[in-house]
Amino acid sequence: MTLAERIIQAKQERANINTQIREIVNQYEGKEDTMDQIKKDELTKLENAFDSKNGMILALEKQLQRDRITGEGGEQLDDPRNKGQKDVKAEQTKLFMNYLKSGSGSDFAAYNALQQDNPTQAGYLVAPQKFVMELIQEIDNLLFMRQKAKVLPALQGAQSLGYPKKTARMNSAAWGTELGTPTADTTLAFGKKEFKPNPATAEILISKTLIRNAPEVDGIVKAEMAYDFAELMENAYMTGDGNGKPLGLFFASADGISTNRDVSTDNTSTAITFDGLKNAKYSIKQQYQNGLEWVFHRDAIKMLSKIKDKEDQYVWQESVVVGEPDRLLNCPVNMSEYAPNTFTAEKYVGILGNLKNYWIVDSLSMEIQVLTELYARTNQVDYVGRLETDGMPVMEEAFARVKLAK
């Protein structure tokens, strides 16, 4: 069975499980107190099976995407004009590979030329640009935010990136006469937001036996660091406070999404309601409606999948197509383990928005430190990686944050 066929089968199985859950919920709707323990245990078992199947589908879809990416394209023909440059890059890559395997280069002079000039960073090697770009690509494949957001060109010299922000609109248009004098606007104003890639670190341990026998140790290091960095960044993209890290979707800030975009009307203090979801969707202006997507934690999705409209129809639209997300109010749903999942009064529990209005900027300055002796007793090599990235929402009007009532 192919990976795509496994995904289809898993989605069908998930749909069957959800049908069983709905049958029980419908049977005891309005009379939950009469549900006996056997039926409660059955419902809990089905809900756990649903969560497990959902996690399996997510993992399979990520693997399918990785397989598709690694199977695309091939090496381009060499251009004689670039031969000298390619020879240098090939030598750098060779030295970098040797460094990953042993923590030292075979040619001391060339190896030393690759090191950082800063003496406080002695022992670090600057990763080749190709390695860094491939690492970032792997991170993109693991993070839905990096696929949906606008990722700006990487900074390769500048310390930060600023962009103008409109802080107040014009307010001078008025009806008049043919020869009337227009009133000059005094309200239009611009501010500035600044992206300053923040340093992030990851540390992994890899068996020396694996490194010794692996044809391309850089692929192992990339894969492990991509997963480690991906978790760190997704957490920041969701709830980061912008202090030494990206500014997240769920952190109220005048620099990102302020409390003006919080929508709690018709929600209860412990649950999201269908009317509350509608209020969130239609609090967003028409020009941003195209491309809206939800972001929820799986606990919220479990709650939402049971909501019915006034015609007693479930509002959740489950996908049975490979690569197609589930939908809510006709908007795709993204699931993140780092979205908030505390269902108490005045807490954030979801967000709807056009994620292209979340910007990400990386720096290509990445360093790898190889500690060959620290874990010698356990036959492992310790890799410490450092990269720099930043991100924040840039247009709060394109978002509506779902909040529970008081």
Q: What is the pLDDT of residue 273?
A: 93
Q: What is the pLDDT of residue 34?
A: 83
pLDDT in tens, the chain (406 residues): 777 778 878 888 888 888 888 888 888 887 877 888 888 888 889 988 988 888 888 888 878 777 665 554 333 334 444 444 555 556 666 666 666 766 654 433 333 333 333 333 333 455 666 677 777 777 777 778 988 999 887 765 555 666 555 555 556 566 766 666 666 656 554 455 678 888 888 888 888 887 777 666 777 777 788 888 888 999 999 999 999 899 999 999 988 999 999 999 999 999 999 999 999 999 999 999 999 999 999 999 999 988 887 788 888 888 777 778 889 999 999 999 999 999 999 999 999 999 999 999 888 667 778 887 888 888 888 888 888 889 999 889 999 999 999 8
To the nearest 10°, the Cα dihedral for 278, 280, 283, 288?
-100
Q: How many CB atoms lie within 10 A of CB 363?
A: 23
Q: How many Å apart are CA 184 and CA 9, to the nearest integer?
A: 64
Q: What is the DSSP letter of 30?
A: T
Q: How many CB atoms lie within 10 A of CB 401?
A: 27
Q: What is the DSSP letter of 115?
A: B
Q: How many residues does the chain have?
A: 406
Query: How big is the chain by its Cα radius of gyration, in Å?
Result: 26
Q: What is the pLDDT of residue 280?
A: 97
To the nearest 10°, the Cα dihedral for 22, 28, 29, 30?
-170
Q: What is the pLDDT of residue 304?
A: 92
Cβ partners under 8 Å of residue 328, min gap 6: 277, 294, 304, 315, 316, 317
Cβ partners under 8 Å of residue 212, min gap 6: 101
Q: How many Å apart are CA 348 and CA 346, to the nearest integer?
A: 7
The answer to whether the beta carbons of residues 126 and 115 sit under 8 Å apart is yes
Q: What is the DSSP letter of 103?
A: S
Tokens of 350: 């979801």
Tokens of 219: 């692929």
pTM: 0.65
Q: What is the pLDDT of residue 146?
A: 87
